[in-house]
Amino acid sequence: MRLRTFESFWLIKNGLLHSYPFLDKALKTDILVIGGGITGALVSHALMEKGYQVALIEKRDIAQGSTSATTSMLQYEIDVSLTDLAEQIGEKAAATCYQAGRRAIQAIAKLVKENKLDCGFESKESLYFAHSKEAAKKLKQEFEIREKHKLGVTWLSAKEIKTTYGIICFGGILSDTAASLDAYKFAHELIKLNVDRGMKVYDQTEITEFKLNQKKPEVLTSDGVKISCGKVIFCSGFETTRMLKENIADLFDTYATVSEQRITLKPKFYKTLFWNTSEPYLYMRMTDDGRLLIGGEDSQFRMPLFQQSIKEKKSTKLQETLQEIMPSIDFIEDFSWAGTFGSTKDGLPYIGKSPEYDNSLFVLGFGGNGITFSIQAMDIITALLEGENPELAEYYRFGR
């Protein structure tokens, strides 16, 4: 009998790195950040850098939401192809969104290095490969538009991919800018760094009442404790969709599994992130401790979440798909888990003001590159607070 975990790998690997008091008395702050996941960590860091007085509130322990489940592939690529996004919002705007993703990956590399964050960060390449002959034709067109917009891409033939990575497919786009990290550890480390320079953090504290459409905004915790603040920044993840009338995203369950450490792959495999053109797509990467991580098999969002039996079936299916494209691989499952995942109509996030709530800004990075959007939010949110209107805020706005 093999007893498997139902918890995400990152939680087990790292344990509870830092914990904070819950809020038991009234608080006043310039900016209140709601949510202690990777988005809250990044945005609160940007606000601290600008000199704001910041308090961060988290209803669970730090980084125990989606940030503990994420597979943390940092990609400039959006779930909606540049070709399709160009049709939806225009080619110039679509290219701007893709280029912003590249800059975000460079920015997080700099942030990790400058602050010496111990979070398994590795710069990598990314290979988007075709799962069928038909898909390869479309992907070649995608390659051409990406090349036109100087996104650092090279086309690899099926033969080159087989030789270099050992993957059977029909050709693919290799991109020079990507990275991976341990998002759980990153969020903890970045929040701790800012706590050490004055940011207030309270965990196990849930905000349940929002009085934002008044001159002096305030929110209340589930214990009735009042927080008065100048602005609220919602970094509260997929659950935030419940407080919005605008239907901004569809939610899915998604599944991931990691192998044991004794797995040997071609040298370049270790330095590359992979995803393919099938729907839902399969993705994979190596972890910083030498495991192969595979994910995908998205299915309709269900409550109650993640029954054990479904997770087991999905994990088996992921491994079968892997076996088809890499027949000689010896993947021995060590951990598997499930998480909630959101998808918007254009693959873009919602960052900025919702017409439903005054005195507040939202950072809701959906899709397979949600984290890349959260990095972009650092500049967008600080610019919006300073009264500017950055170009990206136009593409990521509510009501679009």
Please choose, out of 12-20, 30-38, 170-178, 192-200, the segment that lies near ligand FAD by the rule CB under 6 A: 30-38
Residue 216 to residue 237: CA distance in whole angstroms: 25
Question: Using the rule CB under 6 A, is 58 a contact of ligand FAD?
Answer: yes
Nearest to 111 by CA among 193, 51, 35: 193
Between 140 and 200, CB nearer to ligand FAD:
200
- SS3 label, residue 179: strand
Q: How many residues does the chain have?
A: 400
Told to check if 235 binds ligand FAD by CB under 6 A, we report yes
Q: Which is nearer to ligand FAD, 172 or 347 (CB)?
A: 347
Q: Does 236 bind ligand FAD (CB under 6 A)?
A: yes
Applying CB under 6 A, does 291 fall inside the site for ligand FAD? no
Q: For 216-249, what is the HEC assignment? A: CCEEEECCCCEEEEEEEEECCHHHHHHHCCCCCC
Residue whose pair of structure tokens reads 């995400």 in the numeric block: 8
36 lies in the binding site for ligand FAD (CB under 6 A): yes
Identify which range of 32-40, 90-98, 188-196, 312-320 contacts ligand FAD by CB under 6 A. Answer: 32-40
Q: Using CB under 6 A, which of the segments 299-307, 316-324, 336-344, 390-398 binds ligand FAD?
A: 336-344
Binding ligand FAD by CB under 6 A: which of 9, 31, 59, 76? 59
- Establish if 339 lies at the interface with ligand FAD (CB under 6 A): yes
What DSSP element (H or E) covers 39?
Answer: helix 38-49
Give dist(CA 94, CA 78) in Å, integer: 10
Q: Are residues 342 and 238 in contact, defined by beta-carbon separation less than 8 angstroms? A: yes
Taking the complex as a whole, the smallest distance from the CB of residue 163 to ligand FAD amounts, in Å, to: 26
**Alpha carbon distance 209, 211 (integer Å):** 7
Residues in CB range of 88: below 8 A, 6 or more apart: 80, 94, 346
Residues 6+ apart with CB under 8 A from 202: 20, 21, 22, 23, 55, 56, 57, 58
**Residue 276 sits in the site that holds ligand FAD (CB under 6 A):** no
Residue 26 or 137 having the CB closest to ligand FAD: 26
Q: Which residue, 37 or 347, has its beta carbon nearer to ligand FAD?
A: 37
Choose, by CB under 6 A, the member of 29, 44, 64, 376 that binds ligand FAD: 64
Among 256, 282, 385, 393, binds ligand FAD (CB under 6 A): 256
140 and 155 in contact (C-beta within 8 Å)? yes
34 near ligand FAD, rule: CB under 6 A? yes
Of the residues 295, 347, 352, 390, which one makes contact with ligand FAD according to CB under 6 A? 295
Q: Which residues bind ligand FAD (CB under 6 A)?
A: 34-40, 57-60, 64-67, 69-73, 206-207, 235-237, 239, 254, 256, 295, 339-341, 365, 368-372, 374
